[in-house]
Amino acid sequence: MDINKIVKKMTLEEKVSLMSGKNFWETQEITKHQIPSMFLADGPHGVRKQAAAADHLGLNESLKATCFPPAVSLANTWNKELVTKIGTTLGEEAKAHRVNILLGPGTNIKRNPLCGRNFEYYSEDPYLAGQIAAAQIVGIQKNDVSACVKHYAVNNQEERRMVIDSVVDQRALREIYLTPFEMAVKQGEVKTVMSAYNKVNGVFANENEFLLKTILREQWGFNGIIVTDWGGNNDRVLALKAGNDLEMPGNAGETDLEILKAVQSGEIEEEILDEAVKRLLEVTLKTNSNITGSPDSFSVEKNHQVAYQAATEAIVLLKNDNVLPLKKGKKVAIVGDFAANPRYQGAGSSIVNPTKLESTLDVIAEYEFDFIGYAKGFKRYGKKSKNLISKAKKLSAKAEVILLYLGLDEITEVEGLDRPNMKLPENQLFLLEELSKLNVPLVVVLSTGSQIELPFIDKISALVHGHLLGQAGAKALLDVIVGKVNPSGKLSETIPIKYEDVSTAKYFPGKEKTVEYRESIYVGYRYFEKNQIGVRYPFGFGLSYTNFLYSDLTITSQGVSFKLTNAGKVEGKEVVQFYVGMKDSKIFRPVKELKGFAKINLKPEQTKQVNIAFDDYTFRFWNQETGKYEVETGKYQIYINSSLNKNELLDEIEVMGTLEKIVSLQTVLPNYYSGKINNVSDEEFEKILGYPIPNPHRKYVKRNRIVVGYNTTVAELRYAKGWTGRFFAWAMRVAPKLLKVIGKKQLANTIYMGMYHQPMRGISRMTNGMISWSQLEGLLIMFNGKFFKGLTKFRKEARIKRKKNKMKKKEAKISG
């Protein structure tokens, strides 16, 4: 079909109708022009297609699909080929479920370990995050299903995520936060991008022309569609001007009418609308043509095995005092609720309904050690239980090895809420302490979607970190523990000794209106290494049951080459890591940065030549003076490492840059050059920011009261002038507490995360016309202290809406 011809035939009203969804998951169709609807579904680690009741928080059940390891674990594989295979399988299942756009992957940077959605993101490092994201996108789109990279951009927390202003300097923006998206676009050739909820330097991401048009479309060459996050539209006309193509979910055409009026009045050119329609049709027609007639089923077992393979390579062995692999016949006690009820995925919009979920207890009979029994040990939600601990100790005393399954529960790590701390629950720590007194080798098996403090590390014999392993994780863990699989995962993020050591601990999650990224480029290992701060486990770390030797490093203008040998007695896979540093730089830099990696499989005594090419990202830095990427002339250190802190091979290379001279700013930015970012002054931050630091506080009128507006959150209604607003905020605080009292903790968290930080505009945008924009205006009047005036308007607009709906139904009946 000729898209240009279709658009020419369409009326203005028809074109405008395509700019928002038909309902929660589908786009509008226009039968007259043979334009079908598209179905969008969550899917970072599995297809979450809701066939009945719809929501974006994981409340209602979805169709069965393979649950693969989430991004937190996929990144630990460091295996691009494997991730592409997973993406291909995801795409096949999406096609079988008739999904046009799979809403993933998420490639936001793990700026802070407390971000509640870190399980859905890859890494603290932009290069690793971007490479893994691009690999997954390539796989998904092999099936002519569109991937959708998200959340663009600088969305690194859940607290106040709908309205918070991320205040970040251009260098950090480009080098840290945008690089993964750049790779997704340039290497992955992603067809859809989801804009973030938050503001970036004062402008909502979805109407940020600098982000959407200048960088994404013009500089990176992106020609696909940009979709809002669900309910993420603030000003529809500004968003369309900035480059947004589709608002989701549907809102009964209210914002379509805003666009219609804007075009008719000349506020926006019709050509801008036409381009958005063309981009939307390009993806719609291509994905539908390939979905139509394709198989509507998939092999559950085959895809389960792909999930298993991914899980085996994602497991990170962090400690092993010669306890693992377990030998045949060993008396083994298994303790911990996670062995019976695995924690295998995160919570929120990414919840997958797995096709074949396995627990450790389900598969334990397949193994040749002497399984002497299972004890729950602790309550998943709640305080320590003397009875459960007593039973666990009694069982464990009879064992030769204890496998202790610990982790974070489903309500601790969830979309919409950040974690309060980096600790395991007290009841689990107490159980570990008690078991460690038995003098029986203690192997801890961890299931968490983000990093935790490990104060108990000296009291255990081994630590196997699975993070979140998807539906096939239980067998993968046991296969690593008994040595059937040699562990090959390595950490995609640093595990600090304590939370206070983290570079962003002082600045996260910001203040009332803004979050200041004062640390600039010093995120994760870049900060720890610059300041020589000890960590529990460094970025890129992971043990194996074999040993690898590195030798014969050669550096050319094209890249690096060296030999890797398996010096052990078992086959294994090694993640080789290529870092670049510049000791004598005139700009502030980390000690070194990841610029390449490869995963190499070797049999015992086998040697392979490893080649890693330089690319566009190897030596570049963002020059705020010239407004482009540059290369500094000078001598660079080349590190070939097995982890960040273990240099296997080291040499230098002289590089001719793009600038003749760079002026050092060390005298005006002393804390950035030293890396002491906790000491950064307002003057230093403003210097790299390029504009005055925004006021981070909300504006009060008399007596701690605010004027409630469209972007006032439910949480902020406690400061409303009107009693109705304060009552509404109180009810939203009390309801989750009551649900927790009656044991509905997950539901309580879901309600809290879905509503508490929701701005007022979301009451209209997220209800598909149930509450119109005009009705919302009535609510705001009430919340601002004029109860009867607001109530009158609300009821009047409700009557008008009912009349309009009746007329629409009547017209539809006549035309039908």
Closest Cα partner for 435 from 378, 477, 382? 378
Catalytic residue among 229, 245, 337, 479: 229
CB 466 within 8 A of CB 485: no
CB 574 within 8 A of CB 351: no
Q: Indicate the DSSP class of residue 718.
A: G
CB 119 within 8 A of CB 346: yes
Residue 373 tokens read as 């029994």
- Chain-centroid distance, C-alpha 137: 14
The phi and psi torsions of 12 (rounded to 5 degrees) equal -60, -40
Listed in sequence order, the residues at least 6 apart from 805 whose beta carbon sits closer than 8 Å to its beta carbon are: none
Closest Cα partner for 140 from 87, 178, 206? 87
Please give the radius of gyration of the chain, using alpha carbons only, rounded to the nearest integer.
Answer: 27
The span from the CA of 291 to the CA of 439, in Å, is 59
CB half-sphere exposure, 192, CA atoms < 13 A: 31
Is 229 an annotated catalytic residue?
yes
The span from the CA of 361 to the CA of 177, in Å, is 41
- Chain-centroid distance, C-alpha 587: 30
Question: What is the DSSP track for 749-814?
Answer: HHHHHHHTT-BHHHHHHTTTTSS-HHHHHHHHHHHTT-HHHHHHHHHHHHHHHHHHHHHHHHHHHH
Cis peptide before 151 (omega within 30 of 0): yes
Residue 569 tokens read as 């007695």
Closest Cα partner for 732 from 763, 701, 703? 763
Q: Which residues of 601-628 are buried (b: 16+ CB within 10 A; e: fewer)?
A: ebeeeeebebebebeebbbbbbbbeeee
The span from the CA of 342 to the CA of 713, in Å, is 35
Q: Please name the residue that has the structure tokens 């009912």.
A: 802
Q: How many CB atoms lie within 10 A of CB 272?
A: 17
Three-state SS string over 101-136 comes to EEECCECCCCCCCCCCCHHHCCCCCHHHHHHHHHHH
Strands (E), 711-756: none
Cis peptide before 249 (omega within 30 of 0): yes
The span from the CA of 643 to the CA of 579, in Å, is 10
Closest Cα partner for 639 from 584, 597, 682, 698? 597
CB 558 within 8 A of CB 619: no
Q: Indicate the DSSP class of residue 228.
A: -
- Chain-centroid distance, C-alpha 495: 18
CB 191 within 8 A of CB 141: yes
Residue 298 tokens read as 């998939």
The span from the CA of 193 to the CA of 225, in Å, is 6
Longest dimension (CA), the chain: 83
Closest Cα partner for 65 from 570, 376, 470? 470
The span from the CA of 443 to the CA of 425, in Å, is 18
* Catalytic residue IDs: 229
